[in-house]
Chains A and B, each alone.
Chain A
Amino acid sequence: MKQQEENIDKSLFEPAGVDTLSAEKIEKPSLNYWQDAWLRIKKNKAAVVSMVILFLIVFMALVGPLISGKDFSTQTTSEANLPPRIQGLEHVSFLPFTGERTLKNGDVVNPYEQKGIEHYYWFGTDNLGRDLFTRVWKGTQISLLIAVVAAVIDLIIGVAYGAISGYFGGKIDNAMQRILEVLMGIPNLIVVILMILVLKPGIIPIIIALSITGWISMARVVRAQVMKLKEQEYVLAARTLGLSNFKIIFKHMLPNLTGVMIINTMFTIPSAIFFEAFLSFIGLGLQEPQASLGTLIEDGFKSMIAFPYQMVYPAIIISVIMIVFNLVADGVRDALDPKMKD
């Protein structure tokens, strides 16, 4: 071994060039916060798949009611309670789209043939003969709308409250925190139900009821973040330059709050969807002929034993929405939270 080392001729070596410039060269392109987050979320397969599904659901919620060729509120009582039937899939006996249904005594009947109905109801019809496919997507649209608007209101109130409380600190913060602590002690279920009782069910009352308590968690995270941020040098610099408090909060600190804001909103939306459906289910939801996923499940539940499909489709859609929203929210949180950086 030693022998061999000695045998190597010195001329075979050449000095490595010391290039001070290339030593500092950064191999990979520098990424900002959002590019970095995007890279991380792309690695999370569950989140990516969920995002695609979520996108499809939103797309169907917008387009679904238009492509069925039927109206969500038109009642055709002669075509009530028809099972689902889809062109091309009607002869595939193992799929539930044959237009047949099994009676209590085990007989299989096809109401479409019995009644001589030519058109296809993809998800069947309800007890008033309304097309469920249209109603389910219309309902999805309304549920999503309620949830998103409620989440945006929560965001605005929560950020304003949290930022003011955290930025000014001292007595203001103390007073605002005491109020928050009392509010937190009130179960939001109760407030939401009471608000709906007072306001009468409808899209706007539901949004108001959901926003009344929904902003609290946002206010808390924003306050904590603002308290951390206000110690940073750039805030000091802004203050030295004589910027107003309002400008410091909303122009300089807000961009640094977007992470927590997005994470929190991603979790508010599914909980708003849940609450809307929950209210509908206990009889405080939207009024006929309007539909949301909650009212559809409630209606379907009433006739579940005879016509299970009336409950199953809205139930599947709401479950899928909730699952993908939670998965995307988890993914976004992991991607945006610098503590999780790998």
Chain B
Amino acid sequence: MSKYTEKSVLSGGASMLKYLIRRVAYMVVTLFIIVSITFFLMKLIPGSPFVNAQKLSEAQQAVLNAKYGLDQPIPVQYFHYMINTFTGDLGVSFQFNNTSVTELLSYRVGPSAVLGLQAIILGTIVGIFLGVVGALRQNTWVDYSATFLAVIGKSIPSFVFAGLLQYYIAVKLGLLPTQFWNGFEYTILPTIALAMFPISICARFMRTEMVEVLETDYILLAKAKGAGYFEIAFKHAMRNALIPVVTVLGPLTVSLMTGSLVIEKIFSIPGIGEQFVKAITVNDYPVIMGTTILFAVLFVVVVFIVDILYGIIDPRIRVAGGNK
């Protein structure tokens, strides 16, 4: 027995390492391409990046261009930008009091992270619960309402849902604060709005997996052994059904990023998403580029971690071939 496990661990380790190296290489290439695309697209955008550009004289514009290095040829700018980016220097904001982008964003990571984490925790717990209940009570009204909730959560755009929540719960009923970021009660509505998508995705995925697991032979065996209902459901079935749910973490991060833009705007939360939307409306290139890169890094890293986790949790999946 021990011989077998040792052998499989060894061979698994070797292929795992190869896989890791390949994935890291992909990550670097992807990030490089994202940074390049961002840079060149930003150069193509019409409009001046400076406040009140029309009021500036030619000489003033030239001075400003020289100050921010915008007078140099594009390849040179590109080279500098690449070097700066990979050393963590994202440039200086044109519009927001000349703060460095890294600093500007660092203030805003907190609220976004709190919101994102709360949403993902709420989303996965409620979602998994709905999925499990739906699978255990298959084709009853419990199952149908759980499925219906999941469809609604997946369908209604987060900003519509957030707007309605804000209007009916905060404005009309006055139960919770409408906007801003001043403590836990301010996080409740945005968290719920942001968690809707994770809830529905987890619920649907969990239900499908659970239904499949409940039909396997080992569940039959557990029943034959006389294991109790809850023991079977939660100890035997749920644990195996949970494994593939890890894969939805990738899409969930994307949804959280997308959602954070609109939800932070709606609830006036001083997070990264709100900064991004503001930067877009005022053409602040360095902030747009910096935020884009931050989002991209986050996304790429999460996808990477999810893939690795998946390979570790479920030994049946050969990481080398199991690339989704």
Contacts and interface: CB of A to CB of B under 8 A. Distances in A.
Q: How large is the interface on A (under 10, 10 to 19, 20 to 34, 35 or more residues)?
A: 35 or more
B12 interface: no
A13 B30 CA distance: 81
A185 B27 contact: yes
Interface residues of B, number: 43
A193 B281 CA distance: 12
Interface string A172-212: 00000000011001110111011101101000000000000
- Going nearest first, the 3 A-B pairs with the smallest beta carbon separation are A185-B30, A322-B155, A323-B155
B151 A326 contact: yes
A169 B164 CA distance: 50
Main secondary structure of the interface of A (DSSP, over half): helix
Given A197-B45, A281-B159, A311-B163, A326 B154 contact: yes
B163 A319 contact: no
Contacts of A304: 163, 166-167, 171
30 contacts: A181-B26, A182-B29, A182-B30, A185-B26, A185-B27, A185-B303, A186-B37, A189-B258, A190-B34, A190-B38, A190-B292, A190-B296, A198-B44, A198-B45, A200-B46, A274-B157, A278-B258, A278-B261, A283-B281, A301-B163, A304-B166, A305-B171, A315-B164, A318-B160, A319-B155, A319-B157, A322-B155, A323-B151, A325-B155, A326-B151
B262 A319 contact: no
Contacts of B258: 189, 278
A182 B23 CA distance: 11
B interface majority secondary structure: helix
A191 B37 contact: yes
Contacts of B38: 190, 194
A319 B34 CA distance: 33
Interface of A: 181-182, 185-187, 189-191, 193-195, 197-198, 200, 270, 274, 277-278, 281-284, 297, 301, 304-305, 308, 311-312, 315, 318-319, 322-323, 325-327, 330
B227 interface: no
Interface string B157-173: 10110011011000100
Interface in B23-60: 26-27, 29-30, 33-34, 37-38, 41-42, 44-46
A236 to B, nearest CB: 26
Nearest to A196: B280
A318 B295 contact: no
A282 B151 contact: no
B167 A186 contact: no
A189 B257 contact: yes
Contacts of A281: 159, 262, 265
Interface in B188-205: none
A187 B167 contact: no
B305 interface: no
A197 B41 contact: yes
A191 B295 CA distance: 11
Nearest to B150: A326
A187 B171 CA distance: 35
B296 to A, nearest CB: 6
Residue of B45, B163, B262, B300 ringed by the most chain A CB atoms within 10 A: B163
